[in-house]
Amino acid sequence: MTYVDSSPPVSIYPCVCTHINQPCRGIVCECSGPSACPDGSSNGTCSTQPGGYCYVTVEEVLDEGGLVVVERIAGCLPPDESGFMQCKSSQVPHQHPKVIECCEKDLCNRRLRPVLPAGSEDSPPALPAPPSSPAPPALVAAALCVALLAALAALWLLLRRRRAGKRPPSPPVLTDHTEISSGSGSGLPLLVQRTVAKQIQMVESIGKGRYGEVWLARWRGERVAVKVFFTTEEASWFRETEIYQTVLMRHENILGFIAADIKGTGSWTQMLLITDYHEHGSLHDYLQLHVLDPHTLLTMAYSIVSGLAHLHMDIFGTKGKPAIAHRDIKSKNILVKRDGQCALADFGLAVRYVAERDEVDLAPNTRVGTRRYMAPEVIDEKLDLADFEAFKMADMYSLGLVLWEMCRRCAAGAGAGAVRAEPYAPPYHDRVPPDPSFEDMHALVVVERARPALPPRWRHAPATAALAGLMAECWHHNPPVRLTALRVKKTLAKYRAEGDVKLV
């Protein structure tokens, strides 16, 4: 269209007063035509809102006799974007020739005389071309362009489907390991993971923590656990997803990973981690409700250290597994399975050892471990962050405290069946508050070098006596003296009874 106006450029923003005492107001425009005047009259004036426009349109229409005539309509347009876009509307082609001009002064549209394109004013209405007539060159070119674009889009979709069939695309988190698929058993194919959030049906909340909330949910008819992270814990979700996607990570004593996804709208976001569901919950909760027999105690202890040994182990190969340290071993991060074994969970603080570069891949988040379970060198801030073995030895200290929690709930010792287990209690329950500070733990663990007390009855049963000796070596004050996870696993293998334990 031809946009003619001697006034300042059109603004789509509300009017701004240039004088303090001058109120903002709209402008008065000529209106002609029943559809343009507010009172329904064919001619008159109308007033716009502040910042509005006056306009005049000229369009070819058919009169009652079927003749082509030029119709002129004048009126007011609103100040918002719809009014501005109407002023620009004649820049796109119309079925019938039409042109519009706008201005921004009182009754300025009386002077507007829009002109239709040359050759259109007295021309008859366009008739469909006969089948035999050749199409205009411009139409042919446009059709060819559309056909070419459609062919390119179809080719792109075909290539994408073929690639998806050969190898899943990258996971939702972009790292150096984005080429990893679920071929190692680390979860669903990554293409499927991106749609899992839409298929999850939340059932009930089963736990809350500092990172977020855990829900029991249903997916494809199966019960799963969904860990919903707070938006402030994005780094933990990122790291945990990254660790679970590690090649050869899957192990019977590590929580089974299904998928990771993000869902939300513009106002909220949920970061989801979908894993296997274990109805017995965490070891912390299970020990409060159940008393263990020696067989169950050894089965649980062996499964925990087996998972930790697999985590600490590095597997060399084309797609090998790096060594991983958990950094937050505690009874709340260990789940109890139906067959009596346990599985390690919560890898939001885990670190990996990259053998190719001989460096420790630290988690990029601000969280720290649980103070009650922290090793002395961690509390004293003397842990060598460049030494991966130091992280593994810190895990072993925490493992010793978990073994102590389990032994307290084992009914074994002198007097055969008359021995009762101690009530559940966390490590150092009798020495520090329920939520101990760094100062509390530093004074107890670093300065006093105190460790949880070992009841005399433990010495009279093979299971608790064996574990008492192991835990004392695991929580030694000097990290290099502590046992490795593999050494503890081999020692427990001698005491482990055959067969599975069924929990009811």
pLDDT in tens, 231-262: 888 888 888 988 988 888 899 999 999 988 88
Catalytic residue (one of 261, 328, 346, 395): 328
Known binding residue 392? Answer is no
Nearest to 375 by CA among 400, 403, 355: 400
395 falls in which pLDDT band (50, 70, 90)? very high
Residue 158 predicted with pLDDT over 80:
no
Cα distance between residue 408 and residue 419, in whole Å: 12
pLDDT digits (tens, 9 = 90+) for 180-207: 344 444 566 555 566 677 888 899 999 8
Answer left, alpha or beta for residue 330, where phi above 0 means left and psi between -120 and 50 means alpha.
beta
Orientation angle between helical segments 294-312 and 388-408, nearest 10 degrees: 170
Average pLDDT of the residues in 45-61: 86
Residue that wins the pLDDT comparison between 152 and 286: 286
Report pLDDT for 32: 85
Report pLDDT for 189: 59
Residue that wins the pLDDT comparison between 181 and 286: 286
Please name the amino acid found at residue 454: L
Residue that wins the pLDDT comparison between 146 and 401: 401
Q: Which of 81-85, 186-190, 318-322 has the lowest mean pLDDT?
A: 186-190
Report pLDDT for 156: 79
Nearest to 428 by CA among 456, 459, 449, 458: 449
Distances (CA, A) of 362 to 175, 320, 353, 484: 13, 19, 9, 21
Report pLDDT for 441: 96
Which token pair is 172? Answer: 């939702």
Contacts of 325 (CB under 8 A, 6+ apart): 311, 312, 350, 351, 353, 388, 391, 392, 394, 395
Consecutive H or E run containing 85: helix 81-87
Cα distance between residue 428 and residue 373, in whole Å: 9
pLDDT, the chain, mean:
81
Distances (CA, A) of 45 to 80, 286, 355: 20, 81, 82
Nearest to 113 by CA among 59, 70, 61, 57: 57
Strand partners, 223: 218
Q: Which of 17-21, 222-226, 297-301, 473-477 has the lowest mean pLDDT?
A: 17-21
Cα distance between residue 334 and residue 244, in whole Å: 15
Q: What sign does the CA torsion over 331, 337, 341, 343 have?
A: negative
Identify which of 172-176, 247-251, 498-502 has the greatest average pLDDT: 247-251
> Within 10 A of 411 (CB to CB), how many other CB atoms are there?
18
Report pLDDT for 454: 93
Residue 328 predicted with pLDDT over 90:
yes
> Within 10 A of 194 (CB to CB), how many other CB atoms are there?
19
Which token pair is 320? Answer: 């090998």
283 falls in which pLDDT band (50, 70, 90)? very high
Distances (CA, A) of 442 to 87, 118, 453: 74, 91, 18
Report pLDDT for 357: 85
Which token pair is 258? Answer: 């299904």
Q: Is 276 a catalytic residue?
A: no
Identify which of 8-17, 313-322, 362-371, 489-498 has the greatest average pLDDT: 313-322
452 falls in which pLDDT band (50, 70, 90)? very high
Characterize the bridge pairing of strands 351-354 and 43-47.
unpaired
3-state secondary structure of 81: helix
Q: What is the DSSP letter of 115?
A: -
3-state secondary structure of 466: helix
Average pLDDT of the residues in 158-179: 47
pLDDT digits (tens, 9 = 90+) for 11-23: 444 444 444 444 4
Consecutive H or E run containing 242: helix 234-244
Report pLDDT for 34: 63
Residue 7 predicted with pLDDT over 70:
no
Residue that wins the pLDDT comparison between 113 and 182: 113
